[in-house]
């Protein structure tokens, strides 16, 4: 078939200023998290419709844990309550035998077509051939869980106690004991036999002579093993021991997928899928928090996992996962023929893929990050294909989402969905061969204005530098304090993205801000200044920094405030969005305090007054000795007028008084003391 590109399916709404972005679907990772019925994610990242899973047999028994298929396509099914063996052909199911046990646990076909079955309660090995049933062996205690052919012998997994048995001339013979309560499942890898256990959740390896531990799971049971053509082994691990007659629970599953190194901690997870490399390295591919991963198989170039509580069939590709199918049953218990045969219970049914390929693919929920307009959807596809879309503003689809748009043939337009942060697309592929190689869905965030989170006025004289100023450019008094430090600012401070280290420079007023853009756009800032009762004066435009240190010494004294305007114009030239905020009022005070000194008896009375700022420091010295602090008469430096007293000293001296306001303006006066 000729590959075609879908024409625009969604007409973009009114032009927005935010840039157009794309969701691209062309790898397994980008398709992970999807849900489908009969649409396979291929290892190369494409989609392909499969024949649907159709019911080929329905059984009345409540349990079914065993299935095997012969080369001619005849399927054998073992059930429980009661234990029966069925042969399923194109004509339907035919019961071959009812066995004297509670449950058939496994089936195996010999090269000559002989069928072997293991049972539990009691533990027996039976042979079914030419319509007759023969008991080959039985155990006085325990159960038989799985059977396979290894090194030319029939090997059986048994428990409790856990052991491997082989069929010999005198019945079942002990091959080896295992360090767990149950040998639960078996898989052959070349000249080695892999054993999954229950109780401790071990994966063991047996070469016919010695037994070794390949992996110790944090879960208590290895329920199934599968071997890929390259020798990689996949295992399903779950919590709990085999429980005869256990029925699946109720409730809706919630699947959580994680990838990475295996961990001994199960946490809140109910089951997991493990990958064991040919060299023996083990990783966790997938974990479920409620679903039980009961069976695993290799098919269509990838790993397939059957689960309960709602009968889900999952596919794993490149350590990613997606739901391939759901079946009308509570639990998938066995997979065969590369996943084209599915055995379920609750109820017990046998499904087979057959007929014309067709399926539905629903993508995972796509997150645009903000409310977005959803536009052009293009794809490279072949075969029958229709598409529909929906959007919403809740992370999980619910009643607030839009309805699915009407399905239209791929290549035709559909009504655009309403703007929304989240979106999904749904493809209907088939009937007949249908593939999708690549999809791209365009979206554009609705341009939202910047959010001014903080606009902060710092204390008078505080400045922030990325690096300390050169020492020769610092002017000090007796020691570095608020009244004596003068610094220069970084020449390139406009490019700062965060505040630097705090210094002080007299006459400067620093404004800093914290602004976030919901769309992640680059921002620029304009700063204006207003005197009380006056107009706004532009100070700086198109700043990239998060602060501005203004030299106020050129301004007349008074009350002022800043106005900050944030814009996302650099990334949205067609229609920028802006936000504005004003600061608190602040004082510009470049005038030193007025200081008077008068003699009153044995005291010198010092009166300091400032028009705008409170007095922050008063000191005195005699004859140019060190400065000594003065305490205000009321005990607290907090007013624009303060009174101090200095004891008079005998003899002739020069008394100096220094007063500083909280804007670091200082006044020094001196008087002569004499007899």
CA 520 to each of CA 368, 415, 445: distance values in angstroms, whole numbers, following the listed order: 12, 29, 10
Prior bond of 500 cis (ω within 30°)? no
Residues 290 and 365 in one domain: no
Contacts of residue 208, Cβ cutoff 8 Å, sequence gap at least 6 = 150, 151, 191, 193
Number of domains forming the structure of the chain: 4
Is residue 540, in this structure, part of any structural domain at all?
yes
Count the Cβ atoms, other than its own, within 10 Å of residue 51: 17
* DSSP element (H, E) containing 29: helix 28-31
CA distance 317 to 30: 11
Residues 429 and 484 in one domain: no
Please give the backbone phi and psi of residue 552, each rounded to the nearest 5 degrees, phi first: -90, 0
Question: Per residue in 563-620, pLDDT tens?
Answer: 999 999 998 887 899 999 999 999 999 999 999 999 999 999 999 999 999 999 999 9
Count the Cβ atoms, other than its own, within 10 Å of residue 288: 26
> Computed from CA positions of residues 323, 325, 328, 333, in that sequence, does the dihedral angle turn out positive or negative?
negative
Single out the residue in 413, 445, 477 at which a domain terminates: 445
Structure token pair of residue 588:
């510009």
Q: Where are the beta strands (DSSP E) in 33-162?
A: 35-37, 39-41, 47-49, 53-58, 63-69, 75-80, 84-89, 92-98, 103-109, 115-120, 124-129, 132-138, 143-150, 153-159
Is residue 455, in this structure, part of any structural domain at all?
yes
pLDDT at 302: 85
Structure token pair of residue 9:
């399916």
CATH number, domain at 642? 2.60.40.650
Residues 504 and 412 in one domain: no
CA 363 to each of CA 32, 50, 327, 427, 662: distance values in angstroms, whole numbers, following the listed order: 8, 17, 19, 9, 63
pLDDT at 162: 93
Question: Is there a contact between 389 and 401 (Cβ–Cβ < 8 Å)?
Answer: no
Q: Is 333 exposed, middle or buried (0-12, 13-18, 19+ CB in 10 A)?
A: buried
Please give the backbone phi and psi of residue 48, each rounded to the nearest 5 degrees, phi first: -145, 130
CA distance 20 to 572: 11
* DSSP element (H, E) containing 425: strand 420-429
Residues 91 and 139 in one domain: yes
Residues 529 and 667 in one domain: no
pLDDT at 257: 33
Range of the domain at 390: 4-38+360-445
Residues 266 and 337 in one domain: yes
Tokens 């004991």 belong to 177
Q: Is 39 helix (H, G, I), strand (E, B) or coil?
A: strand
pLDDT at 70: 92
pLDDT at 483: 32
Single out the residue in 445, 479, 512 at which a domain terminates: 445
Is residue 513, in this structure, part of any structural domain at all?
yes
Residues 147 and 213 in one domain: yes
Single out the residue in 533, 557, 588 at which a domain terminates: 588
Residues 211 and 236 in one domain: yes
Residues 438 and 456 in one domain: no
Mapping DSSP onto H, E and C, the string for 194-257 reads EEEEECCCEEEEECCCCEEEEEECCCCEEEEEEECCCCCEEEEEECCCCCCCCCCCCCCCCCCC
CA angle, 145 as apex, 80 and 244 as ends, to 5°? 45
CA 98 to each of CA 92, 93, 132, 328, 498: distance values in angstroms, whole numbers, following the listed order: 18, 14, 11, 26, 79
Residues 108 and 235 in one domain: yes
Residues 92 and 225 in one domain: yes
Structure token pair of residue 349:
């049914």
Q: Which residues of the chain have pLDDT under 70?
A: 1-18, 240-267, 414, 469-497
Residues 369 and 319 in one domain: no
Bridge partners of residue 204, in order along the sequence: 195, 213
């Amino acid at each position: 078939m000729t590959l075609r590109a879908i024409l625009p399916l969604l007409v973009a709404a009114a032009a927005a200023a935010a840039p157009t972005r794309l969701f691209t679907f062309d790898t397994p990772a980008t398709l992970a998290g999807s849900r489908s019925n009969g649409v396979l994610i291929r290892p190369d990242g494409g989609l392909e419709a499969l024949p649907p899973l159709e019911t080929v047999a329905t059984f009345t028994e409540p349990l079914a844990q065993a299935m095997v298929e012969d080369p001619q396509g005849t399927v054998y099914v073992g059930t429980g309550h009661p234990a029966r063996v069925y042969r399923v052909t194109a004509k339907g199911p035919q019961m071959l035998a009812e066995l004297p046990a509670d449950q058939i646990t496994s089936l195996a076909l010999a090269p000559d077509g002989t069928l072997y079955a293991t049972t539990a309660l009691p533990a027996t090995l039976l042979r079914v051939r030419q319509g007759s049933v023969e008991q080959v062996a039985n155990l006085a205690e325990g159960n038989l869980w799985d059977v396979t052919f290894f090194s030319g012998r029939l090997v059986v997994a048994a428990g409790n106690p856990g052991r491997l048995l082989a069929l010999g001339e005198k019945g079942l013979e002990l091959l080896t004991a295992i360090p767990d309560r149950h040998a639960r499942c078996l898989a052959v890898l070349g000249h080695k036999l892999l054993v999954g256990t229950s109780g401790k959740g071990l994966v063991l390896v047996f070469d016919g002579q010695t037994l070794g531990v390949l992996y110790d799971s944090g879960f208590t049971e290895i329920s199934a093993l599968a071997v890929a053509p390259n020798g990689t082994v996949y295992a399903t691990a779950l919590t709990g021991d085999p429980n005869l007659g256990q029925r699946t629970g109720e409730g809706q599953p919630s699947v959580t997928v994680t990838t990475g190194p295996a961990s001994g901690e199960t946490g809140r997870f109910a089951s997991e899928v493990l990958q064991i490399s040919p060299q023996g390295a083990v990783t966790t591919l997938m974990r479920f928090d409620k679903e039980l991963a009961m069976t695993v198989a290799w098919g269509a170039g990838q790993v397939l996992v059957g689960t309960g509580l709602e009968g889900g069939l999952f596919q794993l590709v490149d350590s990613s996962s997606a739901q391939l199918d759901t079946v009308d049953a509570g639990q998938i218990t066995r997979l065969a023929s590369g996943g084209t045969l599915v055995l379920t219970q609750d109820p017990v049914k046998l499904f087979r893929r057959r007929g014309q390929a067709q399926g539905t693919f629903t993508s995972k929920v796509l997150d645009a990050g903000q409310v977005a307009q959803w536009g052009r959807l293009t794809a490279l596809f072949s075969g029958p294909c229709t598409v529909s879309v929906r959007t919403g503003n809740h992370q999980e689809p619910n009643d607030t989402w839009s309805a699915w748009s009407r399905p239209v043939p791929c290549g035709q337009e559909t009504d655009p969905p309403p703007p929304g942060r989240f979106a999904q697309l749904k493809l209907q592929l088939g009937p007949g061969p249908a593939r999708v190689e690549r999809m791209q869905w365009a979206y554009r965030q609705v341009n939202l204005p910047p959010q001014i989170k903080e606009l902060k006025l710092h204390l008078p004289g505080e400045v922030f530098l990325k690096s300390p100023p050169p020492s020769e450019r610092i002017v000090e008094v007796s020691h570095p304090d608020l009244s004596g430090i003068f610094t220069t600012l970084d020449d390139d401070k406009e490019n700062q993205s965060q505040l630097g280290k705090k210094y002080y420079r007299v006459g400067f007023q620093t404004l800093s801000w914290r602004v976030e853009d919901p769309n992640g756009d680059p921002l620029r800032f304009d700063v204006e200044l207003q005197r009380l009762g006056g107009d706004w004066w532009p100070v700086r435009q198109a700043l990239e920094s998060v602060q501005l240190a203004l030299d106020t010494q050129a301004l007349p004294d008074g009350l002022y405030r800043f106005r900050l305007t944030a814009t996302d114009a650099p990334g949205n030239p067609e229609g920028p969005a802006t936000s504005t905020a004003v600061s608190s009022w602040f004082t510009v005070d470049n005038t030193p305090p007025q200081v008077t000194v008068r003699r009153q008896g044995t005291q010198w009375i010092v009166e300091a007054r400032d028009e705008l700022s409170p007095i922050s420091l008063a000191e005195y010295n005699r004859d140019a000795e060190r400065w000594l602090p003065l305490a205000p008469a009321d005990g607290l430096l907090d007013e624009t007028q303060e009174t101090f007293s200095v004891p008079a000293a005998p003899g002739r001296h020069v008394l100096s008084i220094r007063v500083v306001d909280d804007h670091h303006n200082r006044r020094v006066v001196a008087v002569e003391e004499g007899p």
